[in-house]
Structure 1
Amino acid sequence: MHFADLQEADAFLAAHPGVQSFELFIIDPCGVPRGKLLRREELRAVYREGRPLPSSILGLTIRGEDVDATGLVWDVADADCRAFPLPGSLRLQTWRATPTAQLQVSMHPQLGLPASIADPRHVLARQVERLKADGYHPVMAAELEFYLLDQARDAEGRPQPARQANGLRPQAPQVYGVLELEQLAPFLDDLYAACAAQGLPARTAISEYAPGQVEITLEHRADALQAMDEAVRYKRLVRGVAQRHGYQACFMAKPFGELAGSGLHMHVSLADAQGHNLFASEVDELLGAPPSGAAARLRQAIGGLLATLEEGLAVFCPNANSFRRFQANSYAPLARSWGVNNRTVSLRVPGGPAASRHIEHRICGADANPYLAAALLLAGLHRGLREELDPGAPIEGNGYAQAREVLPTDWLSALRGLQASSWAREALGEDFQRIYLAIKQEEYRQFMAEVGEQDWRWYLGHA
């Protein structure tokens, strides 16, 4: 694990004498940034000695409640664990009214114990190293969809799409609408400026398939860990810029039952040590029989991802709401399936030149933890390569109509699948799997115990 050195802090302090506050954060297993707000005079000590954080910070539910069953609370006396800054993460938060910077930290593998076993970034780092040991260098990118909502609810207390610059609230999907992007120009201008200030490779913006839904792509990175670092910082940035404009950025997988869900599409290929794409192949090579070389590697990687898809579903879809996204003809996949240039399948191989050939993993909701999703994705394709797994024939045409092996679409089944999986235990690490399940099982218990508006509307006068 490589941490930043003191020179990074000294250079930043010299270049930004007006910055007095520094937001220090770590990403927990639920994908939530948690940390502290430091003053200027505290920064150098973080780089020299690390910052003590309680062990319980990585054993919380998504609501920020202790989960005793993780073993990170009273069993270890909520011990202080040392976290250190990640290189390149010390950046300005341009959306803050007061000059403020941020730095992301990760638990030290030894000084961070016992909490370091629950650090999701370590889980991904281990998978990257395992692939590199076999000569594979993962290249990754993330696409995150989100909704821009008003901070105020509608008359019925429901979230609602934010008003555009023209004062109107969008009512229709207007997918790929350029007028919709023009109406968001003040927000998008600030978002791109903030990304530039933080070194995040934000690229194409799209008006997605629902009123107020947006997608902005991030560029592929030859370092998978860097790509996911950028994905988690991007989510933090989008929320901050949205708040500055009076919006709320929503990364729920399915915030509205009648509208499109929001996904985290993961793009992955493998390179050799010289950076050559090991999946580079023409489409006819990929579909030919028998495939060989790069086409065979790509098919085997897809085979591994298909074989492990259900076992990782509780990570790809980590919340109760995640499973509401799986509906036919919704651009969210329903089955273990793959295809070429086909958006109705779980694993899509985009078209384009052979040198750009890669896999688009379309299962994750936007609520997934990018580190954990990427870790299981890489573990799955690695298994496919080691075992030379055959993915079967690709889907041609409407994958929804051809779905035969439908994925489990409920949270409890996914959690049980993760718990029973020896593959996931090895990929995540036994300790991390235990902690993650303890958190999610507690969330499941609380969620199912809560009685809400839907229960009253369905059953109050009829049951």
Structure 2
Amino acid sequence: MDSWLRDNPTVRNIRAAVADLNGQARGKRMPARFAHKLSTDGSRMPMSVLNVDIWGEDIEDSPLVFATGDRDGVLMPTERGFVPMPWLANPSALLPMWMFLEDGTPFQGDPRHALKSVIDRFAAKGLRPVVATELEFYLIDDTGDDLQPPPSPRSGKRRLGGEVLSMRALDMFDDFFTELYDACEAMDIPAETAISEAGMGQYEINLVHSDDAMKAADDAWLFKLLIHGLARKHGFAASFMAKPYAEHTGTGMHTHFSVLDTDGNNIFDNGGEDGTPALRHAIAGCIAAMPASMLILAPHGNSYERFTPGAHAPTGIAWAYENRTSAIRVPAGAHQARRIEHRVAGGDINPYLMLAAVLGAALVGLEDKMDAPAPITGSAYDADLPQLPTTWDGAIAAFEASELMHRILPRELIRNYLMTKKQEAQYYEELTEVERIDLYLDTV
């Protein structure tokens, strides 16, 4: 890490930051000349900071606060190392961190450690997940009383309707997307295809698949930080809020994954379209965990406004081949790339928790050789299917009652996450609609 600082002498400021349970970056800023201490000594921060609510407030009655004296944990750099922050005016770098106890034990309330635990369990079986993510977001002008798309810098006009896969909609913000791709390259984020989506001012960028699931999660977390910051640099907002406009489609984050064995073979590939029994076991695990996982896949009050029949977000629990109405889709294409697409999560998720929940559920399905139901055909919205939780309270109850989640996530994290979401749900009820939008627009 010291060599990176020497190779980038113009960097003046460092942010050492960790992802909390909501995926918010929390940490410290320091002059670059002091940053060398981070590689050896790390940085100290209260463990309770990883368990604050979406407002950044302590969780009432949390055992991490007064009951234990609000003790420090030790933040240490992740393997990612320094990444530039191209959205800031002054040359700066971010050092992603994760939290440990004094004795070097991973802090079980850290979402990145939760994903690491799942990845390690795959590795113990000689398996390695390959992961790709598709991130939808809105570009929004929030300077007035009502949200609206920002005017194009080229024409001065606003795009007031959805234009699916429109080149014109992309070219309206050519400078922004060009700078975004340059920034992704500088930050080693594998941003590939960009498209315009169905909502007004809505876009999607795919991040290329990686056989390092932790890097895929890091990439998604850093991408969200980048696009929030870069949009503000250009004079508007970028939001991953699940449903910023009541009348327009919501924002999702679809995840594709396959699993490789020790020889690099895809365990879902049988040389044909159907896939292997392992494919169905993994699908069965995802289906079994889906109701309890909903609190992670849809973590906020606004998240549940996205799940309406016929709105391109799944409402029933089912899987299918090449069918975008189902919660789990097995895409067509080359058999060597046979994979699962998990389509439930919103763009407002914490990428570490989301991948821990999805991959952990698939692993349970593989371990138990679970049987998947028959794939559906036709529209999932017209089928008689078990339904996903449709309210925040319902998702909290399903998460709390689940025994399966204890096979996927650490007990301490489950406790902390439940306390966080219960507190947020309580205070969310007191907010006006304007306050709810303002809460989530920039944070998630």
TM superposition score category, shorter chain reference: over 0.9
Counterpart code for 2:72: D
TM-score of the superposed pair, with normalisation by structure 2? 0.95
Asked if residue 313 in structure 1 is aligned to residue 304 in structure 2, the reply is: no
Equivalent of 2:80 in 88, 95, 98: 88
Report the Cα distance in structure 2 between the residues aligned to 1:61 and 1:112, rounded to whole angstroms.
Answer: 26
Equivalent of 2:119 in 105, 128, 139: 128
Q: Which residue of 2 aligns with 1:414?
A: 395
Structure 2 gap ranges (5+): 437-444
Which aligned pairs between 1:196-215 and structure 2 lie closer than 5 A?
196-215=185-204
C-alpha deviation, 1:453, in angstroms: 6.8
Contact 2:318 2:385 in 1 (8 A): no
Equivalent of 2:34 in 32, 42, 46: 42
Q: Which residue of 1 aligns with 2:379?
A: 398
Q: Which residue of 2 aligns with 1:161?
A: 149
Which aligned pairs between 1:342-361 and structure 2 lie closer than 5 A?
342-361=323-342
Q: Which residue of 1 aligns with 2:409?
A: 428
Q: Which residue of 2 aligns with 1:325?
A: 306
Q: Helix, strand or coil: the match of 1:428? A: coil
Which aligned pairs between 1:438-449 and structure 2 lie closer than 5 A?
438-449=419-430
TM-score of the superposed pair, with normalisation by structure 1? 0.91
Closer, same or farther in 2 for the Cα pair 1:260/1:90, shift >3 Å?
same
Root mean square deviation, CA, Å:
1.7
Report the Cα distance in structure 1 between the residues aligned to 2:79 and 2:435, rounded to whole angstroms.
Answer: 47
Q: Which residue of 2 aligns with 1:228?
A: 217
Q: Which residue of 1 aligns with 2:439?
A: none
Q: Helix, strand or coil: the match of 1:418? A: helix
Which aligned pairs between 1:39-188 and structure 2 lie closer than 5 A?
39-108=31-100, 110-111=102-103, 116-153=107-144, 157-165=145-153, 166-188=155-177
Q: Helix, strand or coil: the match of 1:70? A: coil
In the comparison of the two structures, how many residue pairs are matched? 435
Q: List per-residue Cα deviations over 1:300-322 (Å, max 9, x = no partner).
A: 11111111100111111111111
Instruction: Answer with 307-316 or 386-395: which moved more.
Output: 386-395
Report the Cα distance in structure 2 between the residues aligned to 1:35 and 1:263, rounded to whole angstroms.
Answer: 27
C-alpha deviation, 1:88, in angstroms: 2.7
Report the Cα distance in structure 2 between the residues aligned to 1:449 and 1:96, rounded to whole angstroms.
Answer: 35
Q: Which residue of 2 aligns with 1:261?
A: 250
Report the Cα distance in structure 2 between the residues aligned to 1:111 and 1:251, rounded to whole angstroms.
Answer: 37
C-alpha deviation, 1:430, in angstroms: 1.0
Closer, same or farther in 2 for the Cα pair 1:112/1:321, shift >3 Å?
farther
Structure 1 gap ranges (5+): 1-7, 287-293, 456-463
Closer, same or farther in 2 for the Cα pair 1:283/1:329, shift >3 Å?
farther
Asked if residue 376 in structure 1 is aligned to residue 357 in structure 2, the reply is: yes
Q: List per-residue Cα deviations over 1:190-226 (Å, max 9, x = no partner).
A: 0000000011100000101111001000011101111
C-alpha deviation, 1:108, in angstroms: 2.3
Q: Helix, strand or coil: the match of 1:219? A: strand
Q: List per-residue Cα deviations over 1:46-84 (Å, max 9, x = no partner).
A: 111111112221120011111133312112222221101
C-alpha deviation, 1:403, in angstroms: 4.0
Report the Cα distance in structure 2 between the residues aligned to 1:19 and 1:190, rounded to whole angstroms.
Answer: 19
Contact 1:335 1:404 in 2 (8 A): yes
Q: Helix, strand or coil: the match of 2:49? A: helix
Asked if residue 335 in structure 1 is aligned to residue 316 in structure 2, the reply is: yes
Q: List per-residue Cα deviations over 1:161-215 (Å, max 9, x = no partner).
A: 1111211111111100011111111000000000000111000001011110010
Report the Cα distance in structure 2 between the residues aligned to 1:110 and 1:296, rounded to whole angstroms.
Answer: 44
C-alpha deviation, 1:383, in angstroms: 1.6
Counterpart code for 2:115: L
Counterpart code for 1:342: N
Q: Helix, strand or coil: the match of 1:57? A: helix
Q: Helix, strand or coil: the match of 2:176? A: helix
**Percent identity at matched positions?**
35
Report the Cα distance in structure 1 between the residues aligned to 2:282 and 2:124, rounded to whole angstroms.
Answer: 17
Report the Cα distance in structure 2 between the residues aligned to 1:223 and 1:453, rounded to whole angstroms.
Answer: 40
Q: Which residue of 2 aligns with 1:26?
A: 18
Counterpart code for 1:160: Q
Counterpart code for 1:263: G
